[in-house]
Chain A
């Protein structure tokens, strides 16, 4: 039995959602479930799961410092905790813990500060010393000459979720509530009359709608251009890797604090890991070898035993890197066009809260208090949300 109908596009909908990734599908689901709006089409240029929702490394967490981020990502984590019951679908939410390692006194102080901020925001956090980390992960290179491991900041409720099951679960849930999910349907133009959106042009004809919601992740700028909008976003590429399967070894998510590297183990046994974005504009969905080398070097510095494993696959996905490293969820200068973009490399964990807040924003034509700080006009007003303090340089976030 199909999990969702293969819908044919109809000439008109109340809401058209452009992009059938996690965020687009979650938005459709919550519009139907929470706001009673189900005359919706989700238009996906390829197949469901072909974008970043099926390319990410599946990590969920809410270990943020900035209050706007902490509140938003914690809401997302709470939604993850109830998602399987809500969708009646197994998305394999696994709260195995996320451990950020630190390697110096200065880094420990910074992590203690972050942990305290998390606790003040009612988010679980604990600071582990070296002995505690040794008990959990005895095979790390604790006495590494350059980057000895001194401890870590643990968020026990963080973990992983089976990414493509999230897309399928939301697609199935939305479809059951009447949403049309239309694959192989690329939006090629946006119709605007007197400052108001009236519909979209696609390779399968014109579709009229008074509300058009953009959830195009790495392609946000391209689609926004069709509505005459220029965004505070650059598209970059990020790579990830998976090894052959081994017996249970890494039973949590671990991040290296002295280089760009993080790792977890999939339910199939493969070690899934990655590093930083390649660092230059790209729409290629593939990266370059120097980044591969840098990731492997970091892997060896942290977990030397990894050198015995074979890497099975490597891939890349498009990141919509925003100018302050935080997402945009809200209204635009064009009436009826709503924007959900700028997720950088961390939008998978946001999927439930992003869809929930975006649905609210579309239904009521105003942001919910959780996503109000993530407005598009914050760049003009100076209210940027720069978690890293890196400034308007997308490849540094």
Chain B
């Protein structure tokens, strides 16, 4: 598996550190249902068998955080963007 870092180019997966599902968002700690939302945020994952949006950090390279779209059935990388450039949802 090789990931194309927007800053460094294509590098082997061993240069990167995996940081999990990039679709979960930290909930509002003051919201009325904060407790349930935090349980979901911390523990529950869709874990799809298909296209998965995930964080990788180019730890042994430029150290940038990336958002990678990857098919977890084949390990084919579909897209990579810097986490800082990710379009806010």
* Choice from B18, B40, B45 contacting A221 with Cβ under 8 Å: B45
Q: Nearest chain A CB to B36's CB is how many angstroms away?
A: 8
Q: How far is the CB of A85 from chain B (nearest CB, A)?
A: 40
The answer, yes or no, to whether A37 is at the interface (CB within 8 Å) is: no
A contact residues, total (Cβ < 8 Å)? 26
Report Cα–Cα, A395/B57, bound state, in Å: 15
Which of A146-154, A206-214, A256-264, A282-290 is found at the contact surface with chain B? A282-290
CB-CB under 8 A from B46, the residues of chain A are: 221, 225, 230
Interchain CB contact under 8 A, A221 and B47: yes
Q: Are A232 and B74 in contact (CB under 8 A)?
A: no
The chain A residues found within 8 Å of chain B, CB to CB, are: 219, 221-222, 225, 230-235, 279-284, 288, 290, 293, 323, 379-380, 392-395
List chain B positions with a Cβ less than 8 A from chain A: 1, 12-14, 18, 20-21, 36, 39-40, 42-49, 52, 54, 70, 72-75
CB-defined contacts of B40 to chain A, threshold 8 Å: 230
Q: Which of B45, B48, B54 contacts A280 (CB 8 A)?
A: B54
> Contact check: which of B42, B49, B52 meets A323 at CB < 8 Å?
B42
* Chain B residues whose CB sits within 8 angstroms of the CB of A222 once the complex forms: 47, 49
Q: Once A and B bind, how many residue pairs between them come within 8 Å at the CB atom? A: 70
Q: What CA separation (Å) do A102 and B71 show in the bound complex? A: 39
What is the predominant secondary structure among interface residues of chain A facing chain B? Answer: mixed
Main secondary structure of the interface of B (DSSP, over half): mixed
Instruction: Find the B residue at minimum CB distance from A323.
Output: B43
> How long is the Cα–Cα vector from A300 to B75 in the complex, in angstroms?
29
Distance between Cα atoms of A149 and B40 in the complex (Å): 43
Instruction: Kindly report which residue of chain B lies nearest to residue A233, judged by CB atoms.
Output: B47
Residue numbers in B under 8 Å from A280 (CB-CB): 13, 18, 54, 72
Q: Quick one: which of A219, A283, A290, A379 contacts B72, CB cutoff 8 A? A: A283
Q: What are 6 residue pairs bridging A and B, where the CB atoms are less than 8 Å apart in the complex?
A: A231-B45, A279-B18, A280-B72, A283-B73, A293-B14, A395-B20
* Nearest Cβ on chain B to A3's Cβ, whole angstroms: 31
Q: How far is the CA of A234 from the CA of B13 in the complex (A)?
A: 19
Contacting residues, chain A, for B72 (C-beta < 8 A): 235, 280-284
Q: How far is the CB of A1 from chain B (nearest CB, A)?
A: 38
Kindly state the separation between the CA atoms of A23 and B72 in the bound complex, as whole angstroms. Answer: 25
Q: A393 vs B21: C-alpha distance in the bound complex, in angstroms?
A: 11
The distance from the CB of B69 to the nearest CB of chain A, in whole angstroms, is 12
